Structure 1
Amino acid sequence: MGKEDSSNGKYGTIEEKPVKIDKWDSAALKNALDDGAKKVMLDKFGFTESHKLMDGRLFICTVAVVFAMFALVWDYFRPFPESRPVLIICVLSYFFLMGVLTVYTTYMEMGIFLVALDKDRTRVDPDNKWDLASKLKKYDDKYTLSMTFTDGKTNKTRSGEITKSVAEFFDENGVLCFDLYEPEVRMLQNRIATDKKE
């Protein structure tokens, strides 16, 4: 289930449960389109999702929470003012890690919502990687989907993007027209894949 139906070219899950959102909510529009692109890459092309990028963010958040929890427990057993030096260290560490998280999401994630691996079937060569990122500014209707291909053997990259109005993919009720959106994602992926072969 979720694989392409060869008879009609549609996805069972998307067709059974159409994605409906508030068409005036730009975050909901972006998320629906991101999820649609993710579905194409994972279900249509059979790529495997890598969670390493998200794991980095979760690790930073976990360490920050550990500092906060340690401060709470320490203050419980050694009440203020005795706990003051430990509280200062923990609070400063927490805010430092929030700064690290901001840098990480800005310069490492860069709007990437999917890292998909094209696994080598022989399991000899490194996996090829596809990074998908998107942009949709508030009060703007132009959605930009970017794809970057990284060759596992050579580490060379190819990239491309499309920019379209969100109105092209949603009807007047805010339902995602997946049959209109899917070909755009496939066309972008095919264009980059063709470039890499050349």
Structure 2
Amino acid sequence: MSKKELPAEELVKINKWDGSAVKHALDDAVKTCLLGDRPYLKEQFGLVNTRLVLCALAVGVAIMAHAWDFTHPFPESRTVLLFSVLAYFALMGVLTLHTTFREKGTFVVASQKYNKSYRTWEASSEMKKYDDMYVLQLIVRDERGHCEASSIASCANYIDSQGIVLDNLVALEVNRIFNWLLHEKH
């Protein structure tokens, strides 16, 4: 099916000059290809859930500080406000460390039951500001270790002149990397 045969709501059109929008659209296309073509892969939400819990705790601390200050005006609430400010900044620091050193641009994690154990697949990407190079990395982990492969290509390889993401070209690249990793793990 060519792109002209697809209904308009299935086509992803973006501002091709917005690097962030391009990266996110390509990440979505990779995720759709990775999970949509492989029903045996089940998406895992541990990284996202960790981020959400840290953010929820920070918001909870801020709400608690506001409520305490409302019921016990400032001079009386000084200790609680000090604790809340310190706790909020500590939680934001942990969140920054988590996104910088653990997530590292990972936008999808999926598990695969393999024999009597599990394999974990991670997809991450990077696209520097004012650069057209899209770096896609797939990592597969199991009890024997991990294997990784990456692809570096211009985002123009996956987006046409109208700003429409060419899912079939993204799928070709994802399938190429996935099959190479699958072959390496056997």
* TM-score bracket, shorter-length normalisation: over 0.9
Distance, in Å, in 2 between the alignment partners of 1:81 and 1:136 is 49
Quote how far apart the aligned CAs of 1:15 are: 7.9
The percentage of counterpart residues that share the same residue type is: 39
Corresponding residue to 2:26 among 23, 33, 55: 33
1:134 is aligned to 125
Q: Is the counterpart of residue 24 in structure 1 residue 17 in structure 2?
A: yes
Quote how far apart the aligned CAs of 1:126 are: 3.1
Corresponding residue to 2:100 among 98, 103, 106: 106
By percentage of residues, which structure has more strand?
2
Residues 133, 14 of structure 1: CA spacing in aligned structure 2 closer, same or farther, 3 A cutoff? farther
Distance, in Å, in 2 between the alignment partners of 1:157 and 1:133 is 15
Instruction: For residue 117 of structure 2, give the secondary structure of its aligned residue in structure 1.
Output: coil
Distance, in Å, in 1 between the alignment partners of 2:90 and 2:23 is 30
**Unmatched 5+ residue regions in structure 2?**
none
Root-mean-square deviation (Å) = 2.0
Q: Which amino acid aligns with 1:23?
A: K
Corresponding residue to 1:65 among 59, 63, 66: 59
Dislocated runs of 4+, deviation >4 Å: 12-16
- Contact map agreement 1:142 1:166 (CA 8 A) in 2: yes
**Unmatched 5+ residue regions in structure 1?**
1-7
Distance, in Å, in 1 between the alignment partners of 2:8 and 2:148 is 30
**Once the two structures are superposed, what CA deviation does each residue of 1:128-181 show, in whole Å capped at 9, x if it has no partner?**
110100000111000000000011xx2410000000000111111100111222
- State the structure with bigger RCO (CA 8 A, min sep 6), 1 or 2: 2
Quote how far apart the aligned CAs of 1:119 are: 2.9
1:185 is aligned to 174
Distance, in Å, in 1 between the alignment partners of 2:11 and 2:35 is 18
Give matches, 1:72-91, under 5 Å.
Answer: 72-91=66-85
- TM-score under structure 1 length normalisation: 0.87
Distance, in Å, in 1 between the alignment partners of 2:138 and 2:144 is 15
Distance, in Å, in 1 between the alignment partners of 2:95 and 2:144 is 26
Distance, in Å, in 1 between the alignment partners of 2:101 and 2:63 is 28
- Contact map agreement 1:41 1:116 (CA 8 A) in 2: no
- TM-score under structure 2 length normalisation: 0.93
Q: Is the counterpart of residue 51 in structure 1 residue 68 in structure 2?
A: no
